[in-house]
Amino acid sequence: MWLSPIYPSPGLDLGYDVADHSAIDPLFGTLEDFDRLVADAHRRGLKVLLDLVLNHTSDRHRWFEDSRTSRTADHADWYLWRDPAGWRRGKPIPPNNWLSFFGGPGWTWEPRRGQFYFHTFLAEQPDVNWRKPAVREAQLDVVRGWLGRDVDGFRLDVFNTFFKDPDLASNPRRPFRLGALRAWSRQTHVNDRDQPELGGLLAELRAIVDERPGRMTVGELFDDRIDVAAEYATPRHLIFDFGLLQQPWRTDRIAAAIDRIEAAFGPGRWPAVVLSNHDQPRTASRLARGLRGADRDAVAKAAAVLLLTLRGTPFLYYGEELGLGDVKIPRAEIVDPPARRYWPLPIWWNRDQCRSPMPWRPGPNAGFTTSRPWLRLGPDAQTRNVALEAADPASVLAAWRRLIALRKTVPALQVGAFRWISRTPDMLVYARETAVASEAAVVAINFRGRPAEVPMDGWPGGRDGWAVAWSTTGAGAVGAAGLRLAPYEAAILRPSG
């Protein structure tokens, strides 16, 4: 279980503006409650990962509150402070052209110091100065503290932004290109992230985590370059790559994304497989756009097969196992900071839409709370919830449970190599293989809303060597002409011998 931030926070970025990295926000409980959660999870065979936000703090963190008071404060250089580049019409000019990802300049003026401070995100989220030895040690003490409370690992928020160019050189501008409407996209971000010092820090952090066997880390790469993601991947340290998450439900686009991942990571590195998260549209809304009812759920199930059978560690965002879709949030109820703050811009989607509460059962607020939920639930919460789907063998939840159970019994689906068998406009077929032939599995996914068929000539053992172990609709079968799949069906085949 990966928990998004549960630390004390003003909540301007919904917990990612951390005011104290070593405590629990009273909104969620106490440290004693957390210890009980971890212990109960471990008794159930579950592991708990914490979201560590180490690139920045809240501006209400005691370090920053002290830092902003003067240039001689105890924490004066714990953040990125710089003098203005000059003055224009009585106003200070920022030190360079770095931007905030949420819009506008990345520099905010602090009159008390007569300097700017840098923030990759909101002005209320100042970036810390990782080049300061005291900051480095304090941040690593946070890691040690949570390991001492028996957590099983960490998700590192935007980890490749920890270090910036020491000379604060401006970022080069990109040539104009269609789609780059935001100022952020019109820069090449070579000086405000991905600095050479990061490798040494990751090694130090991993050494601390490795003092407790079995712990893992996963880094959120603040970039869209698969080659950069692969460079940071090391044993027990995964990297979130969003190449698949950004693709439509098309065989050519999905296959090309898989090719890039396999080429970049190669056989020696292990990918993370991601189709959705708390910052992106949900799978059913993105991949099954325009579909309704059974077809929509069929695509959700087929996407689950893709996620759980590609090479790498799959990450499941809560609610996807029910086939939840995005929830439209009225303007007055939006809590997502950039959407709320920059509403005059033509924003058609905000992160609140993929963050609606988990519907557990029919009834008031779908069993999520007896009070008012922080966001509204989806309009189908009374019919699309855990209780009802758990009782329905044809539900999306039932498909997920069957898939996970199957994955646990097939070694190739866990650690096997990846190999394409065929790629057509309708269907993708690939094998997962180990050195033991009997452990192999073949995965076939029909991306179209019509029946599809794939010849099995050339498969190891031929057509008679394979049988459908499970499929999302139960219709998939091996016939005289090859493998037949129903519309949007996905099937997993095993050797029949």
Query: Mind telling me the catalytic residues?
Result: 157, 211
Structural contact between residues 127 and 118, judged by C-beta atoms closer than 8 angstroms: yes
The C-alpha atoms of residue 398 and residue 254 are separated, in whole angstroms, by: 25
Task: Locate all alpha helices (DSSP H) within 126-188, ordered by sequence.
Answer: 133-147
Strands in 441-446's sheet, in edge-to-edge order, are: 417-423, 427-433, 441-446, 490-495, 466-471
Both structure tokens of 178: 């269609």
Task: Locate all alpha helices (DSSP H) within 233-292, ordered by sequence.
Answer: 251-265, 283-287
Chain mean position to CA 390? 26
- Give kind and range of the element (H or E) at residue 240: strand 237-240
Structural contact between residues 439 and 490, judged by C-beta atoms closer than 8 angstroms: no
The C-alpha atoms of residue 276 and residue 98 are separated, in whole angstroms, by: 28
Q: Please tell me the number of Cα atoms within 13 Å of 16 on its side-chain side.
A: 19
Distance, first Cα to last Cα, the chain: 38
DSSP 8-state secondary structure symbol assigned to residue 366: G
Residue type, 485: L
The C-alpha atoms of residue 295 and residue 447 are separated, in whole angstroms, by: 11
Chain mean position to CA 164? 23
Cα–Cα distance list, 275 to 161, 224, 310 (Å): 23, 14, 12
Query: Quick one: which of 2, 1, 19 has its CA closest to 10?
Result: 19
The C-alpha atoms of residue 64 and residue 17 are separated, in whole angstroms, by: 12
Residue type, 397: L
Structural contact between residues 230 and 239, judged by C-beta atoms closer than 8 angstroms: yes
Residue type, 342: Y
Dihedral pair phi/psi, residue 189, rounded to 5°: -85, 75
The C-alpha atoms of residue 455 and residue 463 are separated, in whole angstroms, by: 8
Query: Quick one: which of 240, 107, 105, 247 has its CA closest to 184?
Result: 105
Q: Which residues contact 391 (CB under 8 A, 6 or more apart)?
A: none
